[in-house]
Amino acid sequence: MKRSLLIFAALCAASWTSVQAAQPSVDPEFASDVVDRYANHIYYGSGATGMALVVIDGNQRVFRSFGETRPGNNEHPQLDSVIRIASLSKLMTSEMLVKMLDQGVVKLNDPLSKYAPPGARVPSYQGTPITLVNLATHTSALPREQPGGAAHRAVFVWPTRQQRWEWLSTTSLKAAPGSQAAYSNLAFDLLADALSNAAGKPYPQLFEEQITRPLGMKDTTFTPSPDQCGRLMVAEKGASPCNNTLAAIGSGGVYSTPGDMMRWMQQFLSSDFTPAASRLTACRR
């Protein structure tokens, strides 16, 4: 049976904030008790190897961890434990799109073809092009994954940027972009490529400049160091190795930590947060 890892950082920030918006500020100890109740319920009903959870309520930040970082090592997840955040990466790609919209670099209705590599062809459907907003809202008419690839391959290492654009040049659409919703990892990787081309810089550089460096997210990356790989949470023996995940640059390739995710979430919940201003209530289970 497949084992899993859980990170509930973004979900808990959103849920907790919506509750607090309708209620007076609660006592910190009481808030922690509420978190404990939900955290225990989530973890012990999940079958996960380990879980890291960050909840933000105003200026109060609560961290909880359960289980192990690797099967049998008896080490609880820490704030600096490294986790593949998978599709939470899409939220960061969407944030990058919003930042570049605000900066006037791109527009939502720009066609993907405007930012395609030289010589690449982008399909359309009866004259309707794929736009950036289509890519960001799962309405591009592109498949969930690019067809092909080796069986049982490591996660987030295929297709490469070159491979996906070569494939895109040979495919056709079966529906008009914007006419229906269908989840697509491929679309978010193409969106990241388009933003990179629009900015005239490699996406990892853009990602660092616009998202991770301003918030002090030192462990959020696509290319983990040996030290970061040593802190990677692994759900089961035989899990994918600690590779660079540039192939899934927009859809799922981000490595991060509970501490970095806390910093990332806080920016959306207050305008005066700085990395040095964090106050944390922490506990392990």
Q: Average pLDDT over the chain, rounded to whole?
A: 86
Smallest Cα–Cα separation from 5: which of 42, 41, 32?
42
C-alpha 106/C-alpha 101 separation (Å) is 5
Superfamily, domain 82-256: DD-peptidase/beta-lactamase superfamily (3.40.710.10)
Tell me the per-residue pLDDT of 117-151, one tens digit each, with 9 for 90 and over. 999 999 999 999 999 999 999 999 999 999 987 77
C-alpha 23/C-alpha 103 separation (Å) is 36
Tell me the per-residue pLDDT of 242-277, one tens digit each, with 9 for 90 and over. 999 999 999 999 999 999 999 999 988 865 544 443
31, pLDDT greater than 80 = no
pLDDT of residue 270: 67
Q: Do 270 and 58 meet the contact criterion of CB atoms below 8 Å apart?
A: yes
Q: Any alpha helices (H) in 74-202, and if so which ranges?
A: 89-102, 132-136, 161-168, 185-199
Strand 50-57, strand 83-84: pairing: unpaired
Is the pTM value of this prediction over 0.95? no
53, pLDDT greater than 70 = yes
Domain-wise residue ranges, the chain: 1-81+258-285, 82-256
Q: How many residues are listed for the chain in this entry?
A: 285
60, pLDDT greater than 90 = no
pLDDT of residue 179: 97
Strand 255-256, strand 50-57: pairing: unpaired
State the DSSP H helix or E strand holding residue 163, giving kind and residue range, or none if neither: helix 161-168
Q: Do 55 and 16 meet the contact criterion of CB atoms below 8 Å apart?
A: yes
Q: What percent of the chain has pLDDT over 70?
A: 84
Residue with tokens 């506990």, as numbered in its chain: 283
DSSP 272: S
pLDDT of residue 248: 96
Q: Do 62 and 35 meet the contact criterion of CB atoms below 8 Å apart?
A: yes
Tell me the per-residue pLDDT of 96-121, one tens digit each, with 9 for 90 and over. 999 999 999 999 999 999 999 999 99
What are the angstrom distances between the C-alpha of 52 and each of 77, 272, 281? 6, 25, 14
pLDDT of residue 47: 87
Side chain identity, residue 142: L
C-alpha 217/C-alpha 268 separation (Å) is 15
